[in-house]
Structure 1
Amino acid sequence: MNLILNVLWIVLGGAWMAVGWLIAALIMAISIVGIPWARSAVVMAGYSLLPFGMRAADRTEITGPDIGTGAFGTLGNILWLVLAGWWLALGHLVSAVLNAVTIIGLPFAWAHLKLAGFALWPVGRTLVPR
């Protein structure tokens, strides 16, 4: 079932948002300071391309506290929000609205809304299988 949902997802907006995440990764990688966020954005591009079967979880629940889950993580999230998070979240919100127009698109709209929340505050979170 995840395979069918992921294929439909790619057609109904997942590919465009994955490209958006890759553009954000490229912009972050060009600025040397943004390299840690660039790697995360590439991971998120993969999640944005194939979200069904995976979920986002707090890293403290999975591996325990680390440098990205404390004060530095909050600072990283604020920087991410200002530089790239808001427009990626906006892209997911627009995709959610477009998918919510049809009944078939409702599960995809919900997935876009979850990804929009992740796009706003990603530092200190990780992806795990369902």
Structure 2
Amino acid sequence: MKLINLLLNILWLVFCGFWMAIGYALAGLICCVLIITIPFGIASFRIAGYVIWPFGRTTVEKPDAGAASCVGNVIWLVFAGWWLALAHIATSIPLFLSIIGIPFGWANLKLIPVSLMPLGREVVRTDEAFGARY
């Protein structure tokens, strides 16, 4: 299974992971330049790491995420989230045009909720996903 995840991650990196991670890193840099939005920048860098190497990992909700994460997600959605979601959609369209790219197109679409609402989530390995919820 780890060999399959490695192969999928390498293909993902070549086809779309690198470019999407650059988008998240750019959003993170912009957020870190504006001092008050550093928490958004940290979340963006965390999701960039996930987007560049997603297979074998998933996101789960943090049990201690509260109202601040909800308010932060609304702010993120308005200023950066919808741009990143559009980038996921634009990246998935050419992937769907080839047989090899179809699974990566679906994986790209599955990343849209994380791009829209990244706060209050953490990235864990898939074998830890159930345990991380509690």
Give the TM-score, by structure 2 length. Answer: 0.88
Amino acid in structure 1 at the alignment position of 2:67: A
Cα distance per residue 1:10-29 (max 9 Å; x no partner): 11111000000000000000
Instruction: Give distance in 2, aligned partners of 1:49 and 1:4.
Output: 13
- Structure-2 separation of matches of 1:57 and 1:107: 22
Question: Aligned to 1:57, which of 51, 57, 60?
Answer: 60
**2:17 touches 2:51 (CA, 8 Å); kept in 1?**
yes
- Provide Cα deviations, 1:52-93, integer angstroms capped at 9, x if missing partner: 010011112xxxx2xxx2221110000100111110111011
Count of aligned pairs between the two proteins: 123
Equivalent position of 1:79 in the other structure: 75
| Mapping of residues 25-64 of structure 1, within 5 Å | 25-60=28-63
User: Which contiguous aligned blocks of 4+ residues in structure 1 show a shift greater than 4 angstroms?
Assistant: none
Q: 2:37, 2:99 → 1: CA distance?
A: 39
- State how far apart, in whole Å, the 1-side matches of 2:60 and 2:103 are: 20
- Is 1:123 aligned to 2:101, yes or no? no
- Cα distance in 2 between the residues matched to 1:38 and 1:110: 26
Q: Calculate the aligned-residue CA RMSD, in Å.
A: 0.9
CA contact (8 A) 2:20 2:52 kept: yes
What percent of counterpart residues are identical? 44
- Unaligned stretches of 5+ in structure 2? 127-134
Match of 2:16 among 13, 27, 32: 13
Partner residue of 2:102 out of 103, 106, 109: 106
